[in-house]
Amino acid sequence: MSRQFTSVWTREPRSKPPGPGRSREEIVKAAVELLDAEGLDGLSMRKLGAKLMSGATSIYWYVATKDDLLELAYDEVWAEITVPDPDEAHWREVASVLAHSMRRAMLNHPWSADLLGRLPALGPHAIGVSERMRRTFRLAGFAGTDIDFAGATLTAFIFGMTIPEIAWETTVEGAWDTSAAQAALTKAAAGHPELLDAIGTTPDEDPRVMRAVAFDFGLVSVLDGLERRLTT
Q: What is the end-to-end Cα distance of the chain in Å, rounded? A: 45
Tens of pLDDT, residues 119-135? 989 999 999 999 999 99
pLDDT for 62 equals 79
pLDDT for 174 equals 56
CA distance 62 to 113: 25
Identify whether the C-beta of residue 35 lies closer than 8 Å to the C-beta of residue 42: yes
pLDDT for 151 equals 98
pLDDT for 227 equals 97
Contacts of 65 (CB under 8 A, 6+ apart): none
pLDDT for 164 equals 94
CA distance 169 to 171: 6
Tens of pLDDT, residues 47-70? 998 888 876 667 887 788 889 999
DSSP designation for 177: -
pLDDT for 206 equals 79
Domains along the chain with CATH numbers: 8-77 (1.10.10.60), 81-230 (1.10.357.10)
Strand locations in 7-100 (E):
none
- pLDDT by position in tens, the chain (length 232): 567 788 888 887 766 665 556 788 999 999 999 999 999 999 998 899 888 887 666 788 778 888 999 999 999 999 999 999 999 999 999 999 999 999 999 999 999 999 998 898 999 999 999 999 999 999 999 999 999 999 999 999 999 999 999 998 887 655 667 778 778 888 898 889 888 888 766 666 678 888 999 999 999 999 999 999 998 7
